[in-house]
Amino acid sequence: MKSGKQKRAELRAKRTTAEIRSHSKQPEVRLRPVLGPPVNEALLAPNNSYGAPDFVHRGYYVDRPFRCVDCGKEEVWTGTQQKWWYEVAKGFVYTTAIRCRLCRRKKRERSAESRRVHLAGLERKARRKPEGSK
Ligand SMILES: [Zn+2]
């Protein structure tokens, strides 16, 4: 058998949790669908051109659909990926994604492979002709 005091305390606890839950959820729900990640202009790579790319005017990044130049696949370059590319990787502000994830990886592997072959060639040459010999 619960006393009236206990019941009131339980009710109060329930109400408080519900209030906390609704408060913490609201701002995210309101912002998420409209705005992408905000643009931090100070972090962008410097560029000498007049004017600014559209995302700087807008103030935030939006998802950009594009078609891969290698395989023709449709992919989305997300706002988060753009923020990383421009502000962390310091990509030039007028460059955009042109290859899908898979083709990008293939290209990276190809250039890593050719670099490896190139370096191996240099090493072979150096071994054939030791420094100082004629
Ligand atoms: Zn592709």
pLDDT digits (tens, 9 = 90+) for 97-122: 999 999 999 999 999 999 999 999 99
Rounding to the nearest 10 degrees, give the CA dihedral for residues 7, 9, 12, 17.
-110
Q: Compute the distance from residue 75 Cα to the ligand 1 centre, in Å.
A: 9
Give residue 9's pLDDT band: very low, low, confident or very high (50, 70, 90): confident
Separation of alpha carbons 85 and 78, rounded Å: 11
- How many whole angstroms from 57 Cα to the centroid of ligand 1? 30
pLDDT reported for residue 58: 94
- For residue 44, the model assigns a pLDDT of 94
User: How far apart are the CA of 44 and the centre of ligand 1, in A?
Assistant: 27
The region of weakest confidence among 23-27, 33-37, 76-80, 100-104 is 23-27
Half-sphere exposure for 108 (CA within 13 Å, toward CB): 7
Query: Which pLDDT score, from 0 to 100, does residue 72 have?
Result: 97
pTM of the model as a whole = 0.60
* Segment 26-37 mean pLDDT: 61
Q: What value does the CA radius of gyration of the chain take, rounded to a whole number of Å?
A: 28
Q: What distance in angstroms lies between residue 108's CA and the mean position of ligand 1's atoms?
A: 13
Phi, psi of 50 (to 5 degrees): -75, 155
CA of 78 to the centre of ligand 1 (A): 16
Question: Does 21 have pLDDT greater than 60?
Answer: no
Q: Is pLDDT above 80 for 32?
A: no
**What is the distance in A from the centroid of ligand 1 to the CA of 74?**
8
Spatial neighbors of 92 by CB under 8 A, at least 6 apart, are 45, 47
List the shell of residues around ion ligand 1, using CB closer than 5 Å.
68, 70-71, 73, 100, 103
CA nearest to 44, candidates 82, 6, 16: 82
